[in-house]
């Protein structure tokens, strides 16, 4: 039997050293770049006379399409390898999770493959996000009554 001290020593030896000093700033820069790109896209739409709300919607659509395109071309994974959590900016990370699931399941056909497995990763996010919003809505409604 291995003691706790020996296990800790073995675990430390087997674990790669943390590169947080590099990974955290890189995630911040890449995530910030994605957000800046979104703001630039929105500003372009506004420049051409589209109102703020519609420009925001089109900006979201553009970021989703770009993320899906980058996933399909294999670029998103390369960026994520270096940026880590920086690529999890909600809308692009969500698009990547759906696109990558669809690409993996493509070989199984469109119905039993893509159709059945497209939300494998994103499904829990949708489920719990929707459930949480209902609960928060009920709480908000009850609080507003008083």
Does any domain span residue 16? no
Closest CA to 95 of 61, 128, 129: 61
Does any domain span residue 12? no
Does any domain span residue 10? no
Average pLDDT of 8-13?
A: 83
Say what the pLDDT of residue 101 is: 79
Model pTM?
A: 0.68
Does any domain span residue 72? yes
Number of structural domains found in the chain: 1
CA-CA distances (angstroms) from residue 55 to 3, 5, 17, 38, 41? Answer: 60, 58, 44, 10, 8
Domain that holds residue 120: 21-145
pLDDT > 70 fraction of the chain, expressed in percent and rounded: 99
């Amino acid at each position: 039997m291995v003691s706790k001290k020996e296990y800790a020593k073995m675990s430390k030896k087997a674990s790669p050293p943390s590169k947080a000093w590099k990974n955290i700033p890189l995630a911040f820069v890449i995530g910030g770049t994605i957000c800046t790109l979104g703001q630039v896209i929105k500003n372009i739409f506004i420049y051409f006379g589209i109102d703020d709300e519609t420009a925001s919607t089109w900006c979201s659509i553009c970021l989703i399409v770009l993320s899906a395109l980058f996933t399909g071309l294999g670029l998103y994974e390369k960026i994520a390898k270096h940026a880590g959590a920086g690529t999890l900016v909600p809308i692009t990370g969500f698009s990547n999770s759906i696109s990558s699931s669809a690409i993996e399941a493509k070989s199984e056909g469109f119905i039993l493959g893509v159709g059945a497995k497209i939300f494998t990763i994103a499904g829990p996010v949708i489920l719990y996000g929707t459930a949480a919003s209902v609960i928060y809505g009920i709480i908000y409604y009850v609080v507003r009554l008083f």
